[in-house]
Homo-oligomer: A and B are copies of this chain.
């Protein structure tokens, strides 16, 4: 009896299990006789024989599964070498798998492309997108980003209120290795020029500590407070990640990604602020893992799009290989299938037009974030 195998790779999101649910529902609808198998902990489950029967889940259990953040099948950051690829392909053969759907980011797409090239054919490899970084090429935006962006937008709206109540300087360091989308997302909720975040430092522009301190001083002088969004991945003028420059020894995972902790960067920024503004209340928080799969902040649009991406991935897998991409035609967002090479191992950065300056998001950029994260007017009170 033939099967379809589904797995999850990379870091979690709040809606990654909606994509899993969508793939299960679509595969079941398309071919009720097909076995629907889940590999635990990504491709590791295939070679270790650690599989679960997703087809056996009731609709009610699937619905609860979809509402739960973080990869329910387990995940991995392993990058298979040629021998591991052969073992995975042999496992897919043994399961009579006609398709392998792998939910993840650009590294996961890269693993699928490796497998597709090495495969003898007769089987499709489909990538279903997820990432809080929003850094997949060919996508308008990526499932998981909106929920993470909502978490960050709500954090900055809260800190704006906090620092209106007790003036000072606040910096939140936000995840984002190469792309600043998540760091810039809270600009969606700026109603007035004086609203936070007042300054945005993304990896797309070189970061200079002296310039940062002068820009903070200017805002602080003007408003009595300054609330700053800074990416974990900000780089100095030589392209070296500031976290790496400050941390000394860098750690990298199997895909060559620098493992950023943010804490070192936060501490260095805190020390620089204390030295420059000895009398001001100055605070640096590193948001860390919180925005990426927070159970209390799951956006409904994000959930719906994640489900649609999973359905489209499984439907596509009956035809051909590729990567599912969310595309926007000017009025609506819908999934499309693009070649794996268009996404695999590539990084989408924020367009240059999204910046009005090295630390300022343009109206075009804000319009993009506002489209994904509409302002909720009920959340804002009159300030007495």
Contacts and interface: CB of A to CB of B under 8 A. Distances in A.
B384 A293 contact: no
Nearest to A157: B295
Interface in A104-154: 150-151, 154
Among A68, A164, A380, A383, the one with the most B-chain Cβ atoms within 10 Å of its Cβ is A68
A151 B69 CA distance: 15
A297 B150 CA distance: 12
State how many copies of this chain the complex holds. 2
Among A64, A71, A263, A297, the one with the most B-chain Cβ atoms within 10 Å of its Cβ is A263
Interface stretch (A73-81, A198-206, A340-348, A361-369): A73-81
A379 interface: yes
Interface residues of A, number: 64
A68 B381 contact: yes
B64 A381 contact: yes
A285 B232 CA distance: 13
Contacts of A12: 161-162, 165-166
Interface in A44-69: 52, 54, 57, 61, 64-69
Contacts of A381: 17, 61, 64-68, 72
A334 interface: no
A197 interface: no
Interface in A226-260: none
Given A73-B384, A162-B12, A296 B264 contact: no
Nearest to A268: B263
A96 interface: no
Contact of A72 (B69, B75, B157, B165): B165
A336 interface: no
A293 B162 contact: yes
Contacts of A210: none
Contact of A164 (B74, B158, B290): B74
A64 B382 CA distance: 7
B296 A384 contact: no
A261 interface: yes
A75 B167 CA distance: 9
B155 A383 contact: no
15 contacts: A12-B162, A41-B165, A64-B382, A65-B381, A68-B380, A76-B166, A77-B166, A154-B296, A159-B289, A162-B293, A263-B267, A287-B290, A290-B290, A295-B379, A296-B297
Interface of A: 8, 11-12, 17, 38, 41, 52, 54, 57, 61, 64-77, 150-151, 154-155, 157-159, 161-162, 164-166, 170, 261, 263-264, 266-267, 270, 283-290, 292-297, 378-384
Closest 4 CB pairs of A and B: A68-B381, A285-B288, A70-B161, A154-B296
